[in-house]
Structure 1
Amino acid sequence: MKYKLIALDIDGTLINSSNQITENVKLAIQKAKEKGIKVVLCTGRPLKGVEKFLDELSLREKGDYAATFNGALIQDTFTKDAVSHLTLNYEDLVNLYNLSIEIGSRSHFYDTKTLYTFNKDVSDFTVLESHLTGTHLNVTTLDDVPKDINMSKFMMIDHPEILDECVKKIPQEYYEKYTIVRSTPFFLEILRPEANKGSGISLLAKELGLKQEEIICVGDAGNDKHMIEYAGLGVAMGNATDEIKEMADYVTLSNDEDGVAHVINKFILEER
């Protein structure tokens, strides 16, 4: 099979545990690009949190795209035009914030550019998110949020053992109304029901005239599930959760062993 697009998750996939893209991974991506392969970063991060990686990999050229906010926003990285942006509204914000209080989880949320929290004693996990993504943090109140907000995603955040208990308390109706995915042990992400990494990559494939079987998707966590299911070749990292490994067509090396380079060399460049 001749693959034409590879979608890569960032955290736990593209970058190693030191948050770096290794030279081997960079070289493999560069060779894939030279061969005409579309390389698309597909992440829960906002675009601001992806820009340094796009620059490092020269993925801001004409015809380059990124899928951010877990596929809720598909964007041309050269023109900055949105191919698709699926957002939540103020009513969703009120609903989800009340749920977070009810089940005992802290929370924060994004519009397109800013990270917001209602927690006056800002969670360490919100500070971590702001730092990792390079996004401005705004501590606000529900009354001060514009009623016409376009919210890219809402997140419940806490220590893994607390969040585990909170997740058990979420009523089934919320799973029917929203896409709910666990991106890390301390982040639960909530999006529009039709927004996920799989639908985002599918939308981009249609835009580019590509077939499902021409696409490789690589990831490690619960928020990568939909794109790994969608892909012609769904790949789990060696460090992926058991759930992701079980559903993948192939399990590569870990993010500390150049797993992404291994996939590109094996299935795109065919270098054994």
Structure 2
Amino acid sequence: MYKLIAIDIDGTLLNDQKQITQEVKDAIQAAKKKGVKIVICTGRPIVGVHDILEQLQLRDKNDYVITFNGALVQHTYSNEVISKIALTSNDLQDLYELSMELDVPMHFFDSENLYTPNKDINKYTVYEASANDIPLKYRMLNEVSDYIQIPKVMFIDEPERLDKVIIEIPDSWKEKYTFVKSAPFFLEILHPSVSKGNAVKQLAEKFSIKREEVICIGDGENDLSMIEYAGCGVAMANAEPIVKEAATLQTLSNNENGVAVAIEKLILNEQVHG
């Protein structure tokens, strides 16, 4: 029996209208009633998931959420932080200098705000703030506290330009940080030990849940680590090819209630797995 399901949000839980359908809500509630732990696992900041947790009724004493691509693991009932792995102000300075060398805009987070050092605020920074309902603030780096804890930094640009930037990043940087593409126009940069897969593993071990008892459902490159970790990795029909290749099985798209279809097949129909 599977005991934990980790579910990505954008392109997975939400359809293209940014809605959670009733079919998906019903399937998640049915799985929860069977004792399965449902964990939202997203690149979004914690403030960007409050409404989703409310819609899915995932604020009980046994509910947890993974945000910032695994940099923050939190109890949704008490808001107790289980794990927080952040970048420092020194990392921020280094990554800002890299962004200048590569001529790519960047922005960064603390736990409650989105910041940009760019006077000409990029449209994708505005989009990120709007999508997550998070305050956006302009900050020059010399105005940033030395004690800031940064879950993630993001390089942002038009998809074609960002793809070129990724190729230009020296390998030495890829050894110092985790770089993961979460959208065609977003490259996320995290502490080297941070990934969705590591965060799901941490929660599973906290509850003595075996790897083979874990399902992870996702679509993007930032979901790859948890798809590879899971006993059953499920790729959406709209997933990136690399995710589909790593997955145990494929479900329907995010516009076809793919999450509900996977839960019905693996949990509600009590399919035996080996």
TM-score by length of 1: 0.98
The alpha carbon displacement at 1:271 in A equals: 7.3
Indicate whether 1:136 and 2:112 are aligned: no
Indicate whether 1:235 and 2:206 are aligned: no
* Per-residue CA distance 1:92-118 (angstroms, 9 max, x = gap): 001111111111110000111110000
Amino acid at match of 1:264: I
* Per-residue CA distance 1:234-262 (angstroms, 9 max, x = gap): 11100001111011111110000000000
Amino acid at match of 2:43: G
Tell me, in whole angstroms, the C-alpha distance in 2 between the residues paired with 1:199 and 1:86.
11
Tell me, in whole angstroms, the C-alpha distance in 2 between the residues paired with 1:159 and 1:271.
44
Paired residue secondary structure (2:224): helix
The alpha carbon displacement at 1:22 in A equals: 0.5
Alignment of 1:143-162 (within 5 A): 143-162=142-161
Runs of 4+ more than 2 Å apart: none
Q: Which residue pairs with 1:115 in the alignment?
A: 114
Tell me, in whole angstroms, the C-alpha distance in 1 between the residues paired with 2:32 and 2:202.
21
Q: Which residue pairs with 1:209 in the alignment?
A: 208
* Per-residue CA distance 1:155-181 (angstroms, 9 max, x = gap): 000110110111111000111111110
Indicate whether 1:84 and 2:83 are aligned: yes
Indicate whether 1:195 and 2:194 are aligned: yes
* Per-residue CA distance 1:187-245 (angstroms, 9 max, x = gap): 00000000000000011111111111110000000100100000010111000011110
Q: Which residue pairs with 1:97 in the alignment?
A: 96
Indicate whether 1:34 and 2:33 are aligned: yes
Paired residue secondary structure (2:10): coil
Tell me, in whole angstroms, the C-alpha distance in 2 between the residues paired with 1:167 and 1:101.
14
Amino acid at match of 1:160: P
Indicate whether 1:69 and 2:68 are aligned: yes
* Per-residue CA distance 1:34-66 (angstroms, 9 max, x = gap): 111111000000111000000000001111000
Amino acid at match of 1:268: I
Q: Which residue pairs with 1:169 in the alignment?
A: 168
Paired residue secondary structure (2:12): coil
Paired residue secondary structure (2:153): strand
Paired residue secondary structure (1:225): helix
Indicate whether 1:12 and 2:11 are aligned: yes
Amino acid at match of 1:131: S
Identity of aligned residues (%): 51
Tell me, in whole angstroms, the C-alpha distance in 1 between the residues paired with 2:208 and 2:81.
17
Unaligned runs of 5+ in 2: none
Tell me, in whole angstroms, the C-alpha distance in 1 between the residues paired with 2:38 and 2:270.
18
Amino acid at match of 1:238: A
Cα RMSD of the aligned pairs, angstroms, is: 0.9
Q: Which residue pairs with 1:59 in the alignment?
A: 58
* Per-residue CA distance 1:127-180 (angstroms, 9 max, x = gap): 000001111111110000001111000000011011011111100011111111
Q: How many residues align?
A: 271
Q: Which residue pairs with 2:262 in the alignment?
A: 263
Amino acid at match of 2:135: H
